[in-house]
Amino acid sequence: MTTSAAPLSQDELKTLVGQAALKYVVAGEIVGVGTGSTVNKFIDALATIKDQIPGAVSSSVASTERLKALGIKVFDANEVTSLAVYIDGADEIDGKGHMVKGGGAALTREKIVAALAQRFVCIADESKRVPVLGNFPLPVEVIPMAAAQIARRFEAMGADVTAQIRMKDGAPLVTDNGQHILDVRGLKIAEPLAFESEVNQWPGVVTVGVFAHQKAAVCLLGTAQGVQTLEY
C-alpha cells in the first residue's frame, strides 16, 4: 500500500522558489534583492553562492540587515547604473506579469531597485496568482499631509472602495522613507498600466503598489507539483 506525500506547506513552497531563483543570478554581477518572507528564503539561498557575486542592492532595511548578517555586501542604489536581475516577491500577480506589491511597506524602494534592473524575476506561491489585480488591498505610499485627499480620490472610484491608513501599535505605520501607507480595498484593476500611470500623477502619492511599468519578466511559482516557471 502506498501513501501519497503530504502537500508542501506555504513555507516549504517559499523555500523551493527561493532556491530556484538562484539560477537567474548572474555570476560576477550585483543582484537586486527585494523584501518579504519569500525573499528571505532567496537571501538564505544566495548566501550559498555569495563568493560568485560582488554583492546586492537591497530594497529595505530589513533585507539589508539579513544580507549583511550572511556576509553579502550591500551596495547603495546610487552606486550602480544597472542590474542584470531583480528578485522579489508579490502580493498578487496576474496573467501578464503585472503585480500588486507593498504588503511589507517597502514598495517605493522595491520599485526603485526594479527600475534599475533589466529583468524582474518574481518568486511567489500559487496563492498569489490572480485573474485580475485588486483582491489584495492595494498599498499606496503617501506623504502624510495628502493622505485624506488621496483616500477620497480612491473612494470616489466606486461604492465598495475604501482607503485606510495602515496602523502599527496604535499609530500610523511609518515607512523606511518616513511616509505613511494607504491600504485601498474594493478595487478591480483591469488596466494596470493605465491605473498606475494615473495614480502616479496624484499630488502626494509617493508610490502606488501596482507594478505594471516594472512588471515581472518571469515568475517562479511554488505549486503542489513543484516550481512552475511563467514567462511574460
Asked if residue 84 and residue 52 are part of one domain, the reply reads yes
Asked if residue 184 and residue 115 are part of one domain, the reply reads no
C-alpha cell at 73: 555586501
Is the C-alpha dihedral spanning 122, 123, 128, 130 positive or negative? positive
Mean per-residue pLDDT, 40-56: 97
Asked if residue 205 and residue 219 are part of one domain, the reply reads no
pLDDT reading at 21 higher than 80: yes
CB atoms within 10 A of CB 52: 13
Mean per-residue pLDDT, 214-221: 97
Asked if residue 165 and residue 125 are part of one domain, the reply reads no
Which residue blocks in the chain are alpha helix, DSSP H? 10-20, 37-46, 61-69, 107-116, 147-155, 192-200
Q: 230 - beta bridge partners? A: 219
Q: Is residue 2 part of a domain?
A: no
Asked if residue 121 and residue 226 are part of one domain, the reply reads yes
Please name the residue that has the C-alpha cell 546610487. Answer: 78
Q: Which residues are catalytic?
A: 110
Q: Is residue 190 part of a domain?
A: yes
Q: Which pLDDT does position 3 carry in this prediction?
A: 52
**Domain count of the fold of the chain:** 2
pLDDT reading at 1 higher than 60: no
Q: Is 91 annotated as a binding residue?
A: yes
Q: Is 103 annotated as a binding residue?
A: yes
Question: What proportion of the chain, given as a percentage, has pLDDT over 90?
Answer: 93
Span 52-109, pLDDT tens digits: 999 999 999 999 999 999 999 999 999 999 999 999 999 999 999 999 999 999 999 9
Q: Is residue 182 part of a domain?
A: yes
CATH number of the domain that 171 lies in?
3.30.70.260
Q: Is residue 1 part of a domain?
A: no
Q: Is residue 82 part of a domain?
A: yes
| DSSP character string of 75-117 | E-GGG-S-BS-EEE--SEE-TTS-EE--TTS-HHHHHHHHHHB
Distance CA 27, CA 45 (A): 14
Cβ-Cβ contacts under 8 Å for 199 (sequence gap 6 or more):
140, 205, 208, 210
Q: Which pLDDT does position 9 carry in this prediction?
A: 87
In this structure, are residues 180 and 166 in contact, taking their beta carbons and an 8 Å threshold? yes
Q: Is residue 151 part of a domain?
A: yes
Distance CA 48, CA 123 (A): 18
Asked if residue 195 and residue 126 are part of one domain, the reply reads no
What residue numbers bound the domain in which 181 lies? 138-209
Question: What proportion of the chain, given as a percentage, has pLDDT over 70?
Answer: 98
pLDDT reading at 2 higher than 60: no
pLDDT reading at 204 higher than 70: yes
Distance CA 76, CA 71 (A): 16
Is the C-alpha dihedral spanning 56, 92, 185, 150 positive or negative? positive
Q: Is 101 annotated as a binding residue?
A: yes
Q: Is 37 annotated as a binding residue?
A: yes
Mean residue pLDDT of the chain comes to: 96
Q: Is 128 annotated as a binding residue?
A: yes
Chain centroid to CA 104: 8
Distance CA 81, CA 104 (A): 26
Asked if residue 87 and residue 39 are part of one domain, the reply reads yes
Helix or strand or coil: residue 87? strand
Q: Which pLDDT does position 8 carry in this prediction?
A: 83
CATH number of the domain that 45 lies in?
3.40.50.1360
